[in-house]
Chains A and B, each alone.
Chain A
């Protein structure tokens, strides 16, 4: 007897983000339960305590890379995943937090935190595929005509 084929194994990962893109998955209100039947949701901590270790057939990644730890973690996620798909503006383009790319992050940190030296943060917020590429600087505002 042939073994029944295994359901595809899905993982959902969060990086620097507002959680909204993960929420869009749970916003599949009419389809969620039917969809969940077709998949093995192996790692999705926003929705479940159950964790099945990788490898995963598909990883969905939310958020951008803003800390040294996350710069390592995204590489581990890549290694664990047959396919990795970015969801949303942060993972795809850097997101709102990429405004720091045009500013002095040390000054940002000192403005928000009394002890910024405790933070581990990168000077940039970058999209998932952009880690190893040089930063492209886009003018924040169009020059006055």
Chain B
């Protein structure tokens, strides 16, 4: 029996440590395994016993790339538990903060991590030798996102300004002036990046995903909305654990999130866009049409286009939020502890991020559960790998490996996030 094993020991240009094993037997893919060897950090366990006011500083440290996502799901879950409703300006500032994170995280992925795959470079620095302007454009975009994080969060990594009930400090209108200029420029740069990305060579692939994302009555989703899917799911965050399951694969330490009724599903930009395109402003939809981005994109290699559309949107949305901003009367409302449970989902750059907390009467955390987007996408990433390996079996090994790595990077996995909750070793026969 001809068995061939391909191994990529360390998948580059993703956040975190993982490896890939492919087993090809008699000309077909017998196994496609993404192993995550990121050391567990036990966040859910170490949250117990901490006061609710400490949660946001702790969960931010799950991820250096998307700390706002952890703070947003965390703050909304705790406010839900404590029965706190924040004022409209606080809500707007939180959305603005999320715009900053989407911009910096997506720009990093599009230009630094993903684009080199399409153009055949090992990294963005090598790519810059031939495409200096495009790399500089990407870095400028990333910088614009980080400027927003610094203004509203105090710093770009593990920001320190969000608190239960609001913010420690809210900015005056005047403080936004320099950022408005850089966001206007960023929006132009994002549109140029979109046209550049649209020129990439995309393999012709269509996958049959069940998309899962938040959906809001009139906004493109970030901090609020119901959890919906392309197969008709429509639930509140509190019902998440009734519909989704973290499933263990035999002989492994893996937890895959699956829909109890149907199995694997996809979260992230492709899902958000497919389910919420009608919530984008007409001019953003027109740009999507101009570059040929279909209303429902099922080709994971084209996720890079959707991310770029989301940056264009986030720049415009940030400008609108700043234009309408009136500082709140007070930066936060007081939070009185009580025994309660709270649930929230928000849209991290990589997709739906679920948090659950149970508090005692003093506001001490008794239980915590965090389900990051990459844990939810794990099953789909492996299905993609199997499909891409099957389609490229006749290729040279290096090309096959590169295509498989690219297929993982299509979903911008954040393994540092995911590995607090799972260590993955899947065998399929």
Contact = CB atoms under 8 A, between A and B. Distances in A.
B273 interface: no
5 contacts: A20-B67, A23-B108, A50-B123, A66-B40, A118-B253
A77 to B, nearest CB: 14
Contacts of A113: 40, 253, 255, 423
A96 B46 contact: yes
Contact of B143 (A29, A45, A114): A29
A18 B62 contact: yes
Contacts of A99: 46
A97 interface: yes
Contacts of A41: 123, 125
Nearest to A36: B125
Interface of A: 14-24, 26-27, 29-30, 32-33, 36, 41, 44-51, 66-67, 69-70, 95-97, 99-100, 103, 105, 107-109, 111-115, 118-119, 121, 125
**Most B C-beta atoms less than 10 A away, residue of A19, A23, A69, A111:** A19
Enumerate the 7 nearest inter-chain pairs by beta-carbon distance, A residue then B residue, closest first: A20-B64, A48-B123, A108-B45, A50-B122, A118-B253, A29-B143, A97-B41
A45 B12 contact: yes
Interface string B119-138: 00011111010001001100
Contacts of B420: 112
Interface in B14-36: 14-17
Given A14-B16, A47-B113, A97-B42, 10 more contacts: A16-B41, A19-B63, A26-B108, A27-B156, A48-B122, A66-B40, A105-B42, A111-B44, A112-B420, A119-B40
A20 B65 contact: yes
Give the interface size class of chain B. 35 or more
Contacts of B423: 113, 118-119
A17 B156 CA distance: 17
A100 B46 contact: yes
Given A108-B46, A118-B423, A20 B39 contact: no
A14 B17 contact: yes
Given A33-B135, A36-B125, A114 B248 contact: yes
Contacts of A23: 64-65, 108, 157
A132 B123 CA distance: 37
Interface in B146-191: 146, 156-158
Contacts of A95: 61
Contacts of A22: 64
Given A49-B123, A100-B46, A16 B39 contact: yes
B215 interface: no
Contacts of B125: 32-33, 36, 41, 47-48
Interface in B222-267: 248, 252-253, 255
B105 to A, nearest CB: 10
B405 interface: yes
B13 interface: yes
B250 to A, nearest CB: 10
Given A48-B125, A50-B126, A29 B13 contact: no
Contact of A18 (B128, B132, B140, B416): B416
A29 B146 contact: yes
A127 B421 CA distance: 23
B110 to A, nearest CB: 13
A30 B49 CA distance: 42
A33 B136 contact: yes
B321 interface: no
A83 to B, nearest CB: 22
Given A49-B13, A113-B253, A20 B63 contact: yes
Nearest to A21: B64
B139 interface: yes
Contacts of B46: 96-97, 99-100, 103, 108
A19 B15 CA distance: 6
Contacts of B42: 97, 100, 105, 108-109, 111-112
B136 A47 contact: no
A46 B13 contact: yes
Given A50-B123, A66-B39, A30 B13 contact: no
Contacts of B15: 19, 46
Contacts of A19: 15-16, 63-65, 414, 416
Interface string B386-417: 00000000000000000001000000001010
The listed residue with most B CB atoms (<10 A of its CB), out of A18, A36, A103, A114, is A18
Nearest to A110: B45
Given A19-B63, A108-B46, A115-B248, A49 B16 contact: no
Nearest to B140: A29
B200 interface: no
Contacts of B112: 26, 47
A113 to B, nearest CB: 6
A132 B106 CA distance: 41
Contact of B12 (A48, A96, A111): A48
Nearest to B419: A16
B405 A49 contact: yes
B14 to A, nearest CB: 8
